[in-house]
A and B are shown apart, each in its own frame.
Chain A
Amino acid sequence: MDRFAALIDALAYQPSRTGKVRLLVDYFAQTPDPDRGYGLAALTGGLSFAAAKPALVRELAAARTDPTLFALSYDFVGDLAETAALIWPARPGSNQPPPTLAEIVGALAGARRAAAPALIEGWLDGLDATGRWALLKLITGGLRIGVSARLAKTALAEWGAGRGTAVTVDAIEELWHGLAPPYADLFAWLEGRGDKPDVTGGGGFRPLMLAHPLEEADRAGLDPAAYRAEWKWDGIRVQLVARTLGQPRLYSRTGDEIGSTFPDVVGHLAFDAVLDGELLVRRDGAIAPFNDLQQRLNRKQVTAKMLRDYPAWVRLYDLLMEGEEDLRGLPFDARRRRLEAWFARVRPTGMDLSPLIPFDDWPTLEDLRAGARDNAIEGLMLKRADSPYVAGRPKGPWFKWKRGPLTLDCVLMYAQRGHGKRSSFYSDYTFGAWRGDDGPGGELVPVGKAYSGFTDEELLELDRWVRAHTTNRFGPVREVAPGLVLEVAFDSVHRSSRHKSGVAMRFPRIARIRWDKPAAEADRLETLERLIVT
């Protein structure tokens, strides 16, 4: 447990992705089985405890501490589990050894509910403050340390590669859903002590094939006859895994299972195939804007109202497996024919096919792309007719050709220090648009935040400008005088009750710094409101 605690403590403070990977690799290398496997499970969401509620943490701490001192401490620290971990006075004379993670997992799995408090109390006595914090976060389900399952698997692959096992993160993804904690067979394989685990026939995830953005320069060299075009639908990429034997599953593009959030989709997986598609919300025969889908994402509880108001729909792109037959090695055209035939035969509910768009040359397609006013369309996809389905993002076979972004001239209002390499730079910018009276009576209202789209040289200049025009400081944030116009590019804008301006931009980034433009001539909020998709 000590190692696991040290790991999540370090991860919680580590801003960079490569830094996190390095910490994880170190943990896998230094921690014996089965503890590292349970650690991996904890990071990938594979351990779920209903062992303790915050009330229990409070009770345990209350039994050991003076109520006034606890209240003053909680007030200062602001987090219950952390307060309890820090204030915990070990029982005098207790020198219990710290528990291993495996011990904790095993004991909680086997324990009756009523026995949990005494177990937890004993462990708290055996651990140091970091260990207690990690334990309490783990058993109350509050491990929020900015590590995705994908990142943990990436680290695993990197570690395995360092040990001489040629392995990619995609290979681990393919195995993943056929494995279970503490993953002894997986670690054995990565360490070269065992064979690759056999998971054939399981409801495993097949890593997705992704596309590169199409650059103008690329297009000139592409033969239109070699490519097929489809709309790029504005939802989330999913993989449907429906097996005659075993549970049907719905995976996100990163291999996270999201079936419990979309029971309406899972309910329709009554066939034996693996499909690639876009998850959307469809109402009255029309695809709803992304904002509607957003209401359904990341929900633990799915209400009947949500299912009714935001019904999920899948638009199918590809067929990866039909029965036991793996189609991924076939060319796109062949898979497409199989997909169409399969769809006509099976007629699955709650889904349709993403149509192919006929075109003869690039200008025709460009016109189509420019004319696409449908909110559910983000742009076009180009897929080589002969491309097999390959995991990852190979350059060449697939391109995404997004619709041109919208832009707005905004005024810089606040700047925040970045993280990691950018920690000495004001690199995160909050910008606003004018509201109210035209001219000097108007006020700026924040409409978004962006931290990309500029070069390193521009960052230096922006940083200098922020320091020279600061009017107020709030910790890592500086308020600046309204004087710098940023041309902000974004994909779309939606109504939002969470923002003061009432609107929220999707994917905002800095398109240009308008050193030349006076702040008073920046855009108004009404201009942005007119772009809202409904």
Chain B
Amino acid sequence: MERGGGLWVEPGGFHIDPVRPVDRAVITHGHSDHARAGHTHVLATLPTLDIMRVRLGEGAGRHQQTLDYGRPLRIGDVTVTLVPAGHVLGSAQVVLEHGGRRVVVSGDYKRQPDPTCAPFEPVSCDVFVTEATFGLPVFRHPPAAAEIARLLHAGQLFPERALVVGCYALGKCQRLIAHLRDAGYDRPVYLHGAHLPLCELYRRHGVDLGPLRPATAADKEEMRGAVVLAPPSALMDRWARRLPDPLIAYASGWMRVRARARQHGVELPLVISDHADWDELCQTLREVAAPEVWVTHGAEEALVHWAGLNGFRARPLHLVGFGDEET
């Protein structure tokens, strides 16, 4: 199954999320550990292709083909349908039908509400390929609104400090902004340069994010008490020195575990993730009711164990190269 890395779909002659450049690739979503540069033919949803073009430029693929959600497409002996995965804008599960059997490759997914992308749709199938980034029962993401409320409360307690939140540039950043707007936060949100192009892209796809400003161009004074979003790597670096007495927050599912939060030197850990937590993983396995489950990237062992206890035939599927970038 694993020629170019990712998943090799023999009867269709294509890979899903290959790690190395291949002839034909179906891409589930735009995160860089899934959407790599240099494939010849690339099939994905329109937003995913847009994201790849913004991030990879020329490398986004010589021949790019858009496939909308829910539209079956024949490739070789396989019928391919893309179905929303609820992970980030454009993210898709790949539904493969061949010889009367249905395999669903879910890619990365989540079940929590996300105002910036279409929600996950469970598809019943014979084989379900699931991620397991947070595949341990200690990972249960609280409602995002509660975490946002903690962030805003910190802003009231420390009105003279910038609330800088470390978050991934694609998906998490836009989702945080959307949740902030839902919570009534109407001040401009200040952004690290790496976050601007993707917010612009989300806007073009109809996701309203309210007023946004580049943090580099902003006056130090106006960022007091304001939310600033930046890639996690910038938080502890010299970039953060431009901010007024930054209060360092970090939005990630890993923040659930204290040792992880401390490792990152975080003052305010926010448990907000774009991956399914333990309960969502179990709920999803039950809903798609596939007798056979393949578990990839993450804590495979625990989820395979749970699946076995609950009557699924489950096995780990070791894919190289995933989970390197996005958490």
CB of B259 within 8 A of CB of A77, answer: yes
Question: A12 with B258: in contact, given A76-B138, A129-B140 (CB under 8 Å)?
Answer: yes
A68 near B305 with CB under 8 A, answer yes
Question: Within 8 Å of chain B (Cβ to Cβ): is A457?
Answer: no
> Is B306 touching A69 in the complex (CB atoms < 8 A)?
yes
Query: Is B236 a contact of A13 with CB atoms below 8 Å?
Result: no
Inter-subunit contact B299/A72 (CB<8 Å)? yes
Interface positions of A from 74 to 90, Cβ below 8 Å from B: 76-79, 82-83, 86-87, 89
B292-327 Cβ-contact flags toward A at 8 Å (1 or 0): 000000010110011001000000000000000000
Q: A interface, by DSSP: helix, strand, loop or mixed?
A: helix
For residue B157, give the distance in angstroms from its CB to the closest CB of chain A: 6
Residue pairs across A and B with CB atoms within 8 Å: the count is 84
Whether the pair A475, B309 counts as a contact (CB closer than 8 A) is no
Q: Is the CB of A417 within 8 A of B236?
A: yes
Does residue A476 face the partner (Cβ distance < 8 Å to B)?
yes
A325 at the B interface (CB under 8 A): no
Contact A13 B259 (CB under 8 A): no
Look across to chain A and name the residue whose beta carbon is closest to the beta carbon of B279.
A89
Residue of A nearest to B154 (CB): A10
Q: How far is the CA of A394 from the CA of B60 in the complex (A)?
A: 69
Q: Contacts A78-B259, A79-B258 hold; do A421 and B245 have CB atoms under 8 A apart?
A: yes
> Complex Cα distance A77/B257, Å?
6
Of residues 131 to 175 in B, which have CB atoms within 8 Å of A's CB atoms?
A: 136-140, 142, 150, 154, 157-158
Residues of A within 8 A of B102 (CB): none
Of A79, A424, A476, the contact of B241 (CB 8 Å cutoff): A424
B268/A13 in contact, CB under 8 A: yes
Distance A444 CA – B226 CA, assembled complex (angstroms)? 46
Give chain B nearest CB distance to A467 CB in angstroms. 9
How many A residues have CB within 8 A of the partner chain?
A: 35
CB distance from A78 to the nearest CB of B (A): 6
Q: Are B302 and A73 in contact (CB under 8 A)?
A: yes
Partner of A128, one of B142, B157, B158, B266: B142
B136–A424 touching, CB < 8 Å: no
B157 touches A423 (CB 8 A): no
The smallest beta-carbon distance between B26 and chain A, in angstroms, is: 32
B41 on the A face (CB < 8 A):
no
Among A12, A420, A423, A475, point to the contact of B263 (Cβ < 8 A).
Answer: A475
Cα–Cα, bound, A19→B157 (Å): 9
Which residues of chain B are near A476, meaning CB under 8 Å?
A: 236, 263, 265
Interface positions, chain A 379-430, Cβ under 8 Å from B, are: 417, 419-421, 423-424
Interface: B248 (CB within 8 A) = yes
Tell whether A65 is near chain B: CB-to-CB under 8 Å. Answer: yes
Query: What residues of B have a CB within 8 angstroms of the CB of A13 in the complex?
Result: 261-262, 266-269
CB-contacts of A92-134 with B (<8 A): 128-129
Q: Does A167 contact B (CB under 8 A)?
A: no
C-alpha spacing A160/B36, complex, angstroms = 59
- Of the candidates A73, A128, A475, the one whose C-beta lies within 8 Å of that of B137 is A73
Q: How far is the CB of B10 from chain A (nearest CB, A)?
A: 33
Q: B297 → chain A, closest Cβ, in Å?
A: 16
Q: Scan residues 79-129 of chain B and give those whose CB is less than 8 A from a CB of chain A.
A: none
Rounded to whole Å, the gap between the CB of A193 and the closest CB of chain B is 25
A69 near B265 with CB under 8 A, answer: no
Task: Write the B256-299 contact mask toward A (1 if CB under 8 angstroms, else 0).
Answer: 11110111011111000000000000000000000000000001
Point out the residue from B150, B257, B261 that lies within 8 Å of A76, measured CB to CB.
B257
Q: Given contacts A13-B269, A79-B259, is CB(A69)–CB(B302) below 8 Å?
A: yes
A533 in the interface (beta carbon within 8 A): no
Q: Does A14 contact B (CB under 8 A)?
A: yes
Per-residue CB contact flags for chain A residues 10-43 toward chain B (1 = under 8 Å, else 0) read 1011110001001100100000000000000000
Contacts of A73 in B (CB 8 A): 136-138, 302
A417 CA to B248 CA, complexed, in Å: 14
A68 to chain B: which residues have CB within 8 Å? Answer: 302, 305
B269's closest neighbor in chain A, by CB?
Answer: A13
The verdict on A424 contacting B240 (CB below 8 Å), with A65-B137, A69-B137, A78-B259 known, is yes
The chain A residue with its CB closest to the CB of B262 is A13
Which 9 A-B pairs rank lowest in CB-CB distance, beginning with the nearest?
A86-B138, A73-B138, A72-B302, A87-B137, A424-B240, A87-B138, A73-B136, A68-B305, A69-B137
Question: What are 7 A-B residue pairs whose CB atoms fall within 8 Å in the complex?
Answer: A13-B261, A69-B305, A72-B302, A73-B137, A417-B265, A424-B237, A475-B263
Chain A residues with a Cβ under 8 A of chain B = 6, 10, 12-15, 19, 22-23, 26, 65-66, 68-69, 72-73, 76-79, 82-83, 86-87, 89, 128-129, 417, 419-421, 423-424, 475-476
